[in-house]
Structure 1
Amino acid sequence: MIDNDIDVNEVTMTEHFADMFVDDDFDILLLIGGYGSGKSFTGFLKTAIKATVEKRKILVVRKVYSTIKESCYEDLKDGLEIAGVLDEWKFIKSPLEANHLVNGSKIIFRGLDDWRKIKSIKNIDYIIVEEADEMTLEDLKELRKRLRVTGIKKHIVFMCNPVSRASSIYRMFFTEDEGFGFDEEELYEKRKLKKIDTIELEDGTKETVTIKVHHSTYKDNLFLPPTFIYELESEKDPRLKRIACEGKFGADGDLVLHNAVFEENVFERYVQGKIFKEDYYRGVDWGYSKSYATGLKMAVNESLNELYVYWEFYNRRMTTRELVKRMEPLKEDNVKIFADSASAQTNADFRDEGFRIFPCDKSKGIEYGEQMLRSFSRIVIDMGRCPNTKKEAEECIYKKDKYGEIVPGEYNIDPHSIDTMRYGLGDRKYVPLKQRKNKSRFIGV
């Protein structure tokens, strides 16, 4: 029993979500998962119960206001009806609002397409954000600043599907530089994570913030119709299956490396003792102070038209001396290293340290390099030794013009590893598949 005759035990729910209805031990909560997982149902039902048993001023948000009436507004009404308290509320349609007739709680619906209307709302103590991945990182930060009321526990709830790792939600919750630094793989394993972030203010006082992340998939929702489950489980596109079925971050669009696959022990399985060293390749993208320096070891099986990526260096904010030490493995086998030609001094410094390094040839343009990479029948990336290259291959999609056509060379992320592949393969005599002769440099063929 919570209060006001609302009994959560009478609300039909799945075990994975049950504790969410009574758990208020958080400042920031992310409900993230695949299609039909029940995260939005849980978020709005929790909000409906909260506003009924406590006096609250709640802001319900989506990026675009015109999408709210048929989504958030109706979802919140459904939550109140399921909780059996719909008749305690008065609804206003212009602007969209709901007011509790007993305790004075107010629920306000707004879109972020007009920030002026958000900033004019005072004394908000609870925010729930639907389709949070539609927001920019700046939007999410600004929303957190709206919670200024003192004397009451404040909450903000984000809900969304796990789309791109370039999305604002991923950056806020799963990166160290811009966010709270949750581990993505740990979330998939444990399903629920918690962090307490403590900051010492200038006046010496300490402020703690409790952040929770809750992961779900369609398997956590026992009330989905069989037809919906069929559509999810019969999905053939691995990208959509990853997002929709598994509830994992991935690329939702036209992948640049559509031919990438991920395996363990790639060097031992495909390269060592099987490919001549003339088909070994090395690439480097230097990055700059805010970007990543990347080095890759690769090999090409010309018979099978396959590229193997089996070693990576991926880091940033390192001095040239540190880079020299960390990239030492690129010297092995005396293979030519082709590096970003934009940093002539760094290339010269590495040559002085004994690296057989050369500036890459950019004269043929990015599109040529893209076509070469996309022409491989497979790009096999070592998932254990090259985790950052794997992430980029899973994530990098083309931007599109106003007609929906892909734009070569323009992506949703800054793809350091993909650039490094292009640079490293710079002196390969690329022959389009249709023009390729049956000539092998593959040992044993």
Structure 2
Amino acid sequence: MAKALPAAADNSRMGCIAAPNTTGAQTPARGADGMVLVKVEEVAQGMVLSEDVRDINARLLLAKGQTIEGRHLRMLKMWGVFEVAVAGSDPDPETRGDAPDDALADRASQAIDRSFAALDRDHPAIREVMRLALRHRPRHFDDKHAPEEEDGAEPAEAPDSDGLLTRMARIDVQLPEVPSLVYELNDIIADPLSSSGEIARVVNKSPSLAALLLKIVNSAFYGFRSKIDSISRAVTLIGSKEVSHLALGITIMEAFKSIPRRVIDVPAVLEHNLACGIVARIIAAHGKIAAHTEQIFVSGMLHDIGRLVLCKYFPRHAMATMAHARRLQQPLLKSEQALLGTTHARLGKMLLQKWKLPYALENNVACHHNPAAAINPEMAAALQMADIVVHALGVGNSGEEILPAFDAGAWDKVRMPAGAFGAVIQQAGRQLETFREVLQQG
């Protein structure tokens, strides 16, 4: 997973391919309240939908509570839906023979306890995420990206924070390939009269970007029945904003794949960021803020971009903060502030300002640990919660071992019930597997 990770599509209401269990067989995925996610080809007449079914543009196709008829099956296939939520239950994982061993379960429990040490565990959302993580993490994640102990001693003196900020402002960090690519895309998308041909012309300036975008669009994630062989056709089918945000996420993450592993495990960070983007989009859909799903995915992909900037250009500072946080058993964000006089969130904001990317992205990245300060607190809160969920599940590793904060007031604005987290986690797992498959093909 060393290559850049793309943005995900908003299929939080449509579902994705079922992830295989440890025995190699595919089973329905059980969500909250007895919900089961079933592939469309396995849906039978008489089943009852436990969630609304929507198309790629979030238009309602079938409502929750609808009893499936033959005509509904034809409609689902026509619109490219390949998994739906139905009422029912599947056998408990413990009875399928894929229960984790005690040692793995103990490690998962300890990791979750450590991550949540600074959070309010009595809050309904936090309590539910912990409960689900304790059930899912040992079966689906093996902590392969768990932080390793430092070989060397922590620097005796803290790095010069004033020098860091001054040098950061002077660094000429360039986007890979053609820096103007993202600027051109933003200009075209801002123009309501722009055409799919104009967007395709800009994307096609980078053959590698165009090829990866087409691979993603033709993946099981979107579920289109016929092959899409041009960027202009992709724009027509999934929209100019979707294509532009895919391009943006891919291009920016390419800039940081050369950081040495001794500083930070970049593939693990990319996996963490991809998962945060996926979870944030699903939370946005469940929390009734689906109008901003393209933006929130890219915000998830970029939320820790400041830490990658720190690791790439100031590796000594980065390693000092991680050693300091580990030694004191405190959030890395707190060590960044103590040693550097700034944080990865602020560095991320500075970088996005320098690249003149949309202010909404900049603001979400800057406030993902302090949603109340954001222009749209519910957006930043969804991003913060996605970060919490992904850490709890042990997907990738951002360098953070102890979660720094949870803004309950901002989270309330998202209006997502705690009972929805089961479905969020199930959907996110399958979407992440889909993108892993796409990336491994190339």
| Same fold by TM-score greater than 0.5 | no
Greater RCO (Cα-Cα under 8 Å, separation 6 or more): 2
Question: Which is strand-richer, 1 or 2?
Answer: 1
The normalised TM-score by structure 2 is 0.24
The normalised TM-score by structure 1 is 0.24
Question: Which is helix-richer, 1 or 2?
Answer: 2
